[in-house]
Structure 1
Amino acid sequence: MSTCSSSSARPLKIGIIGFGNFAQFLSKTMIKQGHSLRATSRSDHSQLCKQLGIPFYRDMSAFLESDNEVVLICTSILSLSQVVKPMPFNSLKRPTLFVDVLSVKEFPRDLLLQVLPENMDLLCTHPMFGPESGKHGWQDLSFMYDRVRIRDEALCYSFIHIFSSEGCRMLEMSCEEHDKLAARTQFLTHTIGRILSEMDVEPTPLDTKGFQKLFEVKESTVKDSFDLFSGLFIHNRFARQQMQSLEEALEKTKRKLQERMESST
């Protein structure tokens, strides 16, 4: 993005598909920055949008006709295909920048390249934070992006500037590299948290600092839906290897303990 300076960033017309908790969280900062928003969603968020001063569209064709410069896709991972495949792209009035914010990256990249008209730009992103971790601001929180198909550099820059101007740590990397790293961090964290939840782990009077951190992992991960966790596994090809490695590590640890127990008797 070296061709643009911060002074060239400008307010954008951004349409949001999927106005759930995460989209609502992002929209508050976008509104504060002066961007013009409109939204559509399978659930009825018309009252909330009215409070925020955002037009809410029930009809996808009308939404796409509303002259968006950027279409921000904030659906769940599992519902992405059924949302974007039937979209009437012929309703778009101009070449548009499509941006996704899903927690996996190769899957939306490949699907959107398949369904988007050739003249539409595509930016794949992952804000590595949410309503809880970002409630006091986005300073030093990570924002990953991959400029998959970009011709309008100024428009792409203005969108990325939404995050860089808030102090995010900007990470440009390929979708493949993201998924590889995310399987070893985000997916592994969610898996450990879900395992602890299945064990009904709760605080005790004897808790160590280490256990308290584990309990925090359990509590934070179960706040996210099981659909999100499922999506991290189903649509990140590296997650399956990570799950296998976790199972193998558990078995290896059990064998070592068994061998030590047998040698001590």
Structure 2
Amino acid sequence: MDVLCTHPMFGPESGKNGWKDLPLVYEKVRVRNETRCSSFLHIFESENILEKGCRMVEMSCEEHDKVAARSQFLSHSIGRILAEMGIESTSMNTKSFETLVKLKESATNDSFDLFSGLFIHNRFAQQELMNLEQSFEKVKQRLLKKMSEQQSLSSV
């Protein structure tokens, strides 16, 4: 028996227009039949002959979980936070703000079950959530300190 772990790092929304350059992470845990394994992986590499299939990324399951906690869970978390804030497109969007609106829309197009699964089933996600909270607090404290310094200068 062969064991090949795979995870397409995209869902229906991201992959609706094809898999071109979307990452598929895999690890050959125990492969005895290399031909069968290569044939299976080739399906994802060549999803669309005219274009190009997935970008194949070989890494251990452990490394995948570490990276996914940051790249996938963190982006979904920030998108969900933006949704809670109720951000919407405005008549004077900056490019950065448009990116935030798209992130919010992308995150909320996926179910909350998918989002909670990213948290519950990845042991590294909880640390990323704590890192997000701590980093937000650091930025907030820097802003408050700067404001306090400015107010002190103004009163002199």
Q: Shorter-chain TM-score category?
A: 0.7 to 0.9
> For residues 71-122 of structure 1, what are the alpha-carbon distances to aligned partners after superposition, in whole Å with 9 as ceiling and x for unaligned?
xxxxxxxxxxxxxxxxxxxxxxxxxxxxxxxxxxxxxxxxxxxxxxxxx422
- Please give the residue correspondences for 1:248-263 in structure 2 after superposition, counting only pairs within 5 Å: 248-263=134-149
Q: TM-score, structure 2 length as denominator?
A: 0.87
User: Of the candidates 112, 119, 133, which is equivalent to residue 226 of structure 1?
Assistant: 112
- Alpha-carbon distance, 1:155 to partner: 2.0
Correspondence for 1:69: none
**Secondary structure at the residue paired with 2:3?**
strand
Correspondence for 1:89: none
Alignment partners' CA distance in 1, 2:115 and 2:62: 19
- Alpha-carbon distance, 1:180 to partner: 0.9
User: Larger % of helix: which?
Assistant: 2
Gaps of 5+ in 1: 1-119
Correspondence for 1:134: 15
Do residues 196 (structure 1) and 82 (structure 2) align?
yes
User: Of the candidates 59, 69, 75, which is equivalent to residue 183 of structure 1?
Assistant: 69
- Alpha-carbon distance, 1:258 to partner: 1.1
**Secondary structure at the residue paired with 2:113?**
helix
Between 216-225 and 143-152, the greater mean CA deviation after superposition: 143-152
Q: Which has the higher contact order (CA 8 A, sep 6+)?
A: 2
Look up the equivalent residue of 1:128 and give its one-letter code. M
Look up the equivalent residue of 1:150 and give its one-letter code. V
Alignment partners' CA distance in 1, 2:45 and 2:89: 39
Do residues 216 (structure 1) and 98 (structure 2) align?
no
Correspondence for 2:50: none
The answer to whether the 8 Å contact 2:10/2:23 transfers is: yes
- Alpha-carbon distance, 1:148 to partner: 1.4
Correspondence for 1:159: 40
Alignment partners' CA distance in 1, 2:92 and 2:17: 32
Aligned CA-pair RMSD? 1.3
Alignment partners' CA distance in 1, 2:26 and 2:83: 32
Alignment partners' CA distance in 2, 1:217 and 1:206: 18
**Secondary structure at the residue paired with 2:6?**
strand
Alignment partners' CA distance in 2, 1:164 and 1:264: 56
- Alpha-carbon distance, 1:240 to partner: 1.0
Do residues 171 (structure 1) and 57 (structure 2) align?
yes
Correspondence for 1:77: none
Q: TM-score, structure 1 length as denominator?
A: 0.53
Structure 1 vs Structure 2: percent identity of aligned residues? 63
Alignment partners' CA distance in 1, 2:86 and 2:6: 34
**Secondary structure at the residue paired with 1:135?**
coil
**Secondary structure at the residue paired with 1:145?**
strand
Alignment partners' CA distance in 2, 1:207 and 1:139: 29
Gaps of 5+ in 2: 48-52, 152-156
**Secondary structure at the residue paired with 1:222?**
helix
The answer to whether the 8 Å contact 2:13/2:109 transfers is: no
User: Of the candidates 72, 75, 92, which is equivalent to residue 206 of structure 1?
Assistant: 92
Look up the equivalent residue of 1:253 and give its one-letter code. V
